[in-house]
């Protein structure tokens, strides 16, 4: 059995850790409220543009814009959206696992990676994946200009023919307790003919001009939405992880306190027995 001093030190250490995890939980909860609000505000706009694009593309000539060009896929680019920090449960591990799976399926020699966040960059750099760009310390000053700059790099790679397909791997926010790993095709822009609305709509000045205007907005807004979803998911995952850690620390403190009390009672009992035995010896 551990000594009383060791048990006191353990209880003190666990209480200190509990204070840290509880503080991190409260910080994550405060950040979650803001990031969730931003993410939910952007969703209707993102979905509306995507729906309109998918309605228009089947009716126009895809050669109208180079960005609509579809070709045989020989090279793939993966945009991997992770966090800069850990202590968020399986948030980063799930992203990394999904990326490894997708790269293995297509062949690592034919895949390029852009890493957002320290965690994915550190992991793939150590394993010699083909990383062409990375963004570290990314989430402290998140703004739409970040999405625009990332979009410019991706579109440049696609238009130059350096890559034939772009996929984004990120966490989609479902609710505070749940995030869903999404691997979404970003380029080329595809559509499902079966889902096309059969009603005839009039577009002014023309469908072609509308598409030319909307495509750049569509790509930029999509990237921004991916970042907002991942940011909200990270804060939710960290809040839940720190809440669980705080509760586990409380249970550990309770168990250690019981063990400490048992050891203390045993020590007191031993002392009483020794005193009584000494008194009896003196009387004898």
Q: Are residues 156 and 260 in the same domain?
A: no
- Contact between 57 and 92 under an 8 Å Cβ cutoff? The reply is no
Q: pLDDT tens-digit profile of 172-208?
A: 999 999 999 999 999 988 766 555 554 566 777 778 8
The whole-model pTM stands at 0.88
Q: Are residues 88 and 182 in the same domain?
A: yes
Q: Are residues 159 and 204 in the same domain?
A: yes
- pLDDT of res. 57: 82
Task: Show the low-confidence residues of the chain (pLDDT under 70).
Answer: 1, 191-201, 284
Q: Are residues 154 and 193 in the same domain?
A: yes
Q: Are residues 214 and 271 in the same domain?
A: no
Q: Which two tokens stand for residue 75?
A: 């090279």
Q: What is the CATH number of the domain that holds 271?
A: 1.10.287.80
Residue 25 resides in a domain: no
- pLDDT of res. 223: 96
Looking at the chain, list the stretches that DSSP marks H as alpha helix, in order from N- to C-terminal side: 4-56, 91-106, 118-126, 144-159, 207-283
Q: What is the CATH number of the domain that holds 206?
A: 3.40.1380.10
- pLDDT of res. 23: 96
- pLDDT of res. 56: 83
3-class secondary structure per residue, 194-251: HHCCCCCCCCCCCHHHHHHHHHHHHHHHHHHHHHHHHHHHHHHHHHHHHHHHHHHHHH
Give CA–CA dist 173/41, Å, rounded: 13
- pLDDT of res. 236: 96
- Contact between 229 and 87 under an 8 Å Cβ cutoff? The reply is no
Q: Are residues 15 and 148 in the same domain?
A: no
- pLDDT of res. 227: 97
Q: Are residues 130 and 225 in the same domain?
A: yes
């Amino acid at each position: 059995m551990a000594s009383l001093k060791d048990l006191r030190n353990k209880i003190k250490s666990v209480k200190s850790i509990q204070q840290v995890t509880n503080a991190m939980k409260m910080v994550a909860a405060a950040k979650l409220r803001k990031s969730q609000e931003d993410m939910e505000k952007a969703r209707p706009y993102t979905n509306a543009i995507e729906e309109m694009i998918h309605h228009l593309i089947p009716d126009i000539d895809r050669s109208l814009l180079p960005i609509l060009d579809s070709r045989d896929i020989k090279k793939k680019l993966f945009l991997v959206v992770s966090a800069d920090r850990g202590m968020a449960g399986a948030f980063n591990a799930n992203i990394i696992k999904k990326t490894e799976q997708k790269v293995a399926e297509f062949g690592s020699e034919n895949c390029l990676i852009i890493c957002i966040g320290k965690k994915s960059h550190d992991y793939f750099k150590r394993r010699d994946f083909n990383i062409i760009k990375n963004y570290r310390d990314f989430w402290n000053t998140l703004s739409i200009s970040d999405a625009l700059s990332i979009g410019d790099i991706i579109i440049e790679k696609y238009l130059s023919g350096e890559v034939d397909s772009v996929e984004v791997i990120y966490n989609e926010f479902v609710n505070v307790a749940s995030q869903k790993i999404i691997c979404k095709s970003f380029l080329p822009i595809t559509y499902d003919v079966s889902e096309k609305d059969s009603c005839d709509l009039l577009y002014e000045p023309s469908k072609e001009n509308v598409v030319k205007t909307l495509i750049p907005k569509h790509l930029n807004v999509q990237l921004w939405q991916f970042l907002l979803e991942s940011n909200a998911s990270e804060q939710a995952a960290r809040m839940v992880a720190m809440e669980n850690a705080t509760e586990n620390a409380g249970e550990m403190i309770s168990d250690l306190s019981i063990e400490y009390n048992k050891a203390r009672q045993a020590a007191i009992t031993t002392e009483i027995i020794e005193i009584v035995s000494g008194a009896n010896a003196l009387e004898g």
